[in-house]
A and B are shown apart, each in its own frame.
Chain A
Amino acid sequence: MRYNERELLSLARQPAEKAAEIRMSVPKKGSVLKKRLVKLVVNFLFYFRTDEAEPIGALLLEHCRITKEEENIFSISFIEEPERKYCFECASEQQCQEWVEALKRASYEFLRRSLIFYRNEIQKMTGKDPLEQYGISEEARFQLGTHRQ
């Protein structure tokens, strides 16, 4: 699949929501945990060799499942292939919990649901649609229920 690599690389260089050196393994046979610089930017998780400027890879965090595994370890898998897991071994249980929480909220879809929730809550309290002031109340992406296509 073609993608705009230059822009993705530029995204990888931006300040991260969260970044840490974490041991990570990919879902390939014989794969072992290796120390990587893991960086969360918008809904992408980039991972680098610790001394390199360009990421080895990027994971788009949509339709994924973040699972707390055994001690200090969490995994990311994707809904269409739940057995293929990217595993991450953190330095502490606390770090592990923080990453799990952050990654669960990292998807665009989660953000969209938050927006719809807040919009609805504010509308109930004030009787007014808070998105009107931005002129985006009619946008398909912000509608409750099924989106228009």
Chain B
Amino acid sequence: MKLNERSLAFYATCDSPADNSGFLYKRGERHTAYHRRWFVLKGNMLFYFEERESREPVGVIVLEGCNVELCESAEDFAFAIRFGGTKSRTYVLAAESQAAMESWVKSLSRASFDYMRLVVRELEKQLEEMRRGLAGGCGSSRESSGSWKSSGLERSPERLPALPTILPKENGCAVWNNALGAQQPSDTSGCGGHYDEGNPRPPPLPPRRRVSSGSAGSAGEIPSTFCRLHERYSQEVARLRQDWLEKQRGPR
């Protein structure tokens, strides 16, 4: 079966943050000798490199449908990634300390897409139920929800969680994770033009406050799903990126 290996290698080595990383000893498949490898966990993919500086992973373990458990081994701090099914291979790994072992076991056992999806669905449900509860409140709900919303936003000045940045590549262009494409029609909110501080760094993330207050046609409304919010931010980002790119070309 073919796999998009080049993209996998890129995913493994790019600047997006890892969920865990460190040296682990990996027991060989045929021979029981352990090899020290540099491991990087991103999402449900556990990559391993020969060295920390290696440009490409030696391999990857897809972490769907597995169990992570402590195991008996001559090595200290050993644990295993076990898959269901006959003939399935068990990966035996060993950490260099008790703390490292516990950290890996914890992060690996929750690494699957399935698990993440479960938690997201649960939170989505909770939020829906809460919103329904709010909407069924008093007549001045619009006003009260508006004030509640703005105070909530002001309380959280931390940057937008939906758009983690990847550091710019050598040509100076920032690369966006899962870019939704600049072909999105720009919205008519008219809230462009904020980023003219002459900042040569990668485009700054739009502040939450501005987007929610400035969006056309939905004054005071919070998108009921993450996806709509994501779409809205993506249009904003595409526009900002365009502006920034033009500015970069300018002085040349």
Contact = CB atoms under 8 A, between A and B. Distances in A.
B227 interface: yes
Contacts of B61: 3-4
Contacts of A80: 6-7, 10, 14
Contacts of B14: 63, 80
Given A111-B116, A144-B158, A1 B18 contact: no
B74 interface: no
B65 A1 contact: no
Nearest to A77: B7
Contact of B229 (A104, A117, A131): A117
Contacts of A122: 123, 126-127, 130
B5 interface: yes
14 contacts: A3-B3, A57-B2, A57-B3, A58-B1, A65-B179, A80-B6, A108-B44, A108-B116, A109-B16, A110-B178, A111-B117, A113-B162, A118-B124, A136-B110
B43 A120 contact: no
Nearest to B176: A79
Contacts, number: 206
A48 to B, nearest CB: 10
B3 A124 contact: no
A7 B88 contact: yes
Interface stretch (B51-59, B193-201, B240-248): B51-59
Task: State the main secondary structure of chain B at its contact with A.
Answer: mixed
Contacts of B42: 62, 108
**Interface bin, chain B:** 35 or more
B181 A79 contact: no
B230 interface: yes
Contact of B57 (A1, A68, A112): A1
B161 A116 contact: yes
B35 interface: no
A145 B59 contact: no
A118 B123 contact: yes
Contacts of B9: 1
Contacts of B114: 42
A10 to B, nearest CB: 6
A2 interface: yes
